[in-house]
A and B are shown apart, each in its own frame.
Chain A
Amino acid sequence: MSGLRRGFRLILLAARAELRSPGLWLPALLAALAVGAFTVSSQDAGATIAVVLATRLGQAYGIAACLWFGYRAVRDQDERLGAVLRSKPVDGAAWVTVSWATGVAVWTLILGLAFLAAALAMAFTTGVPASLVALLGFGHAWVTVVIASALSFGLSRVMRSPLGGILIMLAWVCVIAGLQNAPPYMRLEYAQNRGLFLPVSAGILAFAALLVERLRRQELRRPLVPVLSALLFLPLSWAGGQIAARDAAIITDPSGTVWEAIGRQHLEPGRRLPGFWLPDGHGGTVRTADHTGKVLLVYLFAAGDLETARNLKTLSELGRELGAQGVQPLGVCLSPDHADAAMLARAGYGFPIGADQTAAATGDKPQSTLLTAYNADLLPLLVITDRRRMVREVLTDTIHDPARLRELVTARLTEEPR
């Protein structure tokens, strides 16, 4: 217990010292202000802003953290400070853990500041429910930063050079930049890959702390114990890797039975809307079959596109206003990161939002199995059906016009009153 208290006190003292550096707090403050301003300017994007921030800030702060942790891992190993520290009776493994945890505490505050700015801006502009999604976004980005920090710190400590952090950063940037070609399970910011990256980063950190640092401090008496402890992370990493590979977004040829069935019924006015069963990101399922007899507004959108995300608010308002008359919006979020749909599902839009987890790209040429099956290659996409689920409208360019959308839906209700 006293060891824990001592560790906590050490972290507190060192974190306080780190945060006194204007080189750290000034950029953090400016970044938070920029995030707040960006959130205010994107107020009609609603809770989707939190989803975008979770991804973008996770990446930006994670990459910066790679460099910072790489540098910090070796800062206290030089002869000036390192000799003072190594002459102290603190255990090497505990020292590495405390040193890393100090960095995590510092980056938690820095990242938290940015999300606090976003949450406050959202609370004033969009409402409290949306700002709560910022909390989820913070959690998602925080895990990304923690993974990046552990990988960079551990590797740099092992290599005794900031090169460890630089290597992690370069590998990550390459994977982000080469999105189409790099395997999706290499993306350390994706929620579905955490099963792989959490044990890998913990393993590297454990290896650095239990084995390398103790060896360096000449404290290693029984190497088998730390070696086995570090090796324990191997099966965990393997299992996580299996899950990540299984969940990886792979565009399948829609020739299998289910997709083949959907593929035979492209989105064409007059034809029946291809049905779907999609996970909603937090354990539920979004099914077209649950909404028989309603006018469906099926909206396919990219989570990271703030322009398209604005329509969620319009759909939400239509759903609330005309829901009693049988109008049912259904969202389909396309994002390679499974966390996005999970956050949106909790965003308080008031209608089901499913996730097409096969989405591999949502940029200029979006790719997902559902889009391929629907023979669609443009996002966003809004499909309006009648009460028999026959496709009446397929809209791509008029969705941003709420008045036009309302007009179309009202016309449908007039034609098919309840």
Chain B
Amino acid sequence: MGVEVAQLSKVYDGRVRALDTVSFQAESGVLGLLGPNGSGKTTLMSIMATLLEPTTGTVLVDGLDVRKNKPEIRRRIGYLPQDVGLYPNLTVLETLEYMGLLYNLDDPADLRRRIDRSMERLNLTALRDRQVQTLSGGMRQRVALAQAILPEPSVLIVDEPTAGLDPEERIRVRSFFTDLARECLIVLSTHIVADIEAVASSLAVLRHGNLLYFGSPEELLASLGDRIWSFAQGEPGSKLPEGFLETGLYRLPGQIQVRGVAESRPCPGAELMPPNLEDAYVWLMTRDARREVGDTASKAPSDTKGKRK
């Protein structure tokens, strides 16, 4: 079980480097992939799902090389791309049967059992006879997830599963991942840091195809130490103290509270706060951007290659 990525690079058309010597290993739980648009998350997931070939390096999914064992890997993974499409005129039940047949699940009784279980886990049983085109976005996303878990995968790869969902559906999907993570490795890519915070047991942060961080969310938070401060801002848009990196802005009754990273107390009245993943993410991204323009003052986090269990 798990994925092992070693020195992975992907170059499109000989020019665009989408991934640059990325290495990490994850075996169970939820691996969160974080990064801005164009950071290489979708490319990495597509390679794991055998939809793209690596340019260099190796990727093992469940111990199998993605270059040499595509059919076998496809049998063992569940994949849910970003903005998933399903046949609109099929019912939920028919969709799952159709996808089950594409997974070569031949035995009708076994297929039926898997479908029933998937529907039950994703709360779809009552919707079984509804056509996909009549479902809300959240319901469709649950159908898409249900089809991805039909083969009872050892690795489930999901790209932006909660994008566009209402808060209730997002919570439902997160609970599902937490529950499923006991059975398989879930590789979860998202922009939404709160999703990762809620479910991820390990984290890979990508930027411009480079792995900025790999490790547990707790380790990343610990690396921030006592650097998170919060203080009331006088006027909206007023100048922030020198050396202060803003990570959040909160409106409280009668005032605006600014939150961010600073090596020492940025201004009188600033309070030390426990770090959260959003602070860490912004800090990582900004630190890396500074590095690119030659500012190496910040301290690098320890892991850029790693292994998580």
Report whether chain A binds chain B: yes
Confirm or deny: A401 has a beta carbon within 8 angstroms of a beta carbon on chain B: no
Contact A17 B147 (CB under 8 A): no
Confirm or deny: A84 has a beta carbon within 8 angstroms of a beta carbon on chain B: yes
Measured CB to CB, the closest approach of chain A to B110, in angstroms, equals: 12
Q: In this complex, what residue of B is CB-closest to A83?
A: B81
Contact A13 B50 (CB under 8 A): no
Confirm or deny: A414 has a beta carbon within 8 angstroms of a beta carbon on chain B: no
Cβ-defined partner of A79 (8 Å) among B81, B87, B98? B81
Contact A2 B106 (CB under 8 A): yes
Most buried by B among A14, A18, A79, A217: A79
Contact A86 B51 (CB under 8 A): yes
Contact A13 B104 (CB under 8 A): no
Measured CB to CB, the closest approach of chain A to B280, in angstroms, equals: 31
Interface string of A91-117 (1 = CB under 8 A from B): 100010000000000000000000000
Please report which residues of chain A, range 1-40, place their CB below 8 angstroms from some CB of chain B when the two chains form the complex.
2, 5-6, 9-10, 13-14, 16-18, 20-21
Kindly list chain A residues whose C-beta atoms are within 8 Å of the C-beta of B102.
Answer: 10, 85, 88-90, 95
Cβ-defined partner of B74 (8 Å) among A9, A13, A80, A89? A89
Q: In this complex, what residue of A is CB-closest to B88?
A: A17
Kindly list chain B residues whose C-beta atoms are within 8 Å of the C-beta of A86.
Answer: 51
Contact B89 A88 (CB under 8 A): no
Confirm or deny: A257 has a beta carbon within 8 angstroms of a beta carbon on chain B: no
Cβ-defined partner of A14 (8 Å) among B49, B83, B85, B87? B87
Interface string of B87-99 (1 = CB under 8 A from A): 1011000100111
Confirm or deny: A307 has a beta carbon within 8 angstroms of a beta carbon on chain B: no
Contact A80 B90 (CB under 8 A): no
Confirm or deny: B75 has a beta carbon within 8 angstroms of a beta carbon on chain A: yes
Confirm or deny: B71 has a beta carbon within 8 angstroms of a beta carbon on chain A: yes
Contact A84 B101 (CB under 8 A): no
- For the residues of A in contact with B, the DSSP-based class is helix
Confirm or deny: B130 has a beta carbon within 8 angstroms of a beta carbon on chain A: no
Measured CB to CB, the closest approach of chain A to B134, in angstroms, equals: 11
Confirm or deny: B70 has a beta carbon within 8 angstroms of a beta carbon on chain A: yes
Query: What is the CA–CA distance of A83 and B104 in the complex, to the nearest angstrom?
Result: 17
Measured CB to CB, the closest approach of chain B to A77, in angstroms, equals: 11
Measured CB to CB, the closest approach of chain A to B66, in angstroms, equals: 9
Confirm or deny: B177 has a beta carbon within 8 angstroms of a beta carbon on chain A: no
Most buried by A among B72, B86, B87, B97: B87
Confirm or deny: A321 has a beta carbon within 8 angstroms of a beta carbon on chain B: no
Q: In this complex, what residue of A is CB-closest to B91?
A: A17
Kindly list chain A residues whose C-beta atoms are within 8 Å of the C-beta of B147.
Answer: 84
Interface string of A176-217 (1 = CB under 8 A from B): 000000000000000000000000000000000000000001
Kindly list chain A residues whose C-beta atoms are within 8 Å of the C-beta of B72.
Answer: 89
Contact B104 A89 (CB under 8 A): yes
Contact A89 B75 (CB under 8 A): yes
Kindly list chain A residues whose C-beta atoms are within 8 Å of the C-beta of B79.
Answer: 83-84, 87
Kindly list chain B residues whose C-beta atoms are within 8 Å of the C-beta of A88.
Answer: 74, 99, 102-103
Contact B50 A87 (CB under 8 A): yes
Kindly list chain A residues whose C-beta atoms are within 8 Å of the C-beta of B99.
Answer: 84, 88
Please report which residues of chain B, range 186-243, place their CB below 8 angstroms from some CB of chain A when the two chains form the complex.
none
Q: In this complex, what residue of B is CB-closest to A24?
A: B89
Query: What is the CA–CA distance of A13 and B101 in the complex, to the nearest angstrom?
Result: 10
Question: Beyond A17-B87, A21-B89, is A87–B98 a contact (Cβ under 8 Å)?
Answer: no
Query: What is the CA–CA distance of A6 and B144 in the complex, to the nearest angstrom?
Result: 21
Q: Could you write out 5 A-B pairs with CB less than 8 Å apart?
A: A10-B102, A84-B85, A95-B102, A218-B70, A219-B70
Contact residues of A with B, CB < 8 Å?
Answer: 2, 5-6, 9-10, 13-14, 16-18, 20-21, 78-91, 95, 217-219
> Sorted from nearest, which 9 A-B pairs have the closest CB atoms?
A80-B85, A81-B85, A87-B79, A17-B89, A89-B74, A88-B102, A83-B81, A20-B89, A2-B106
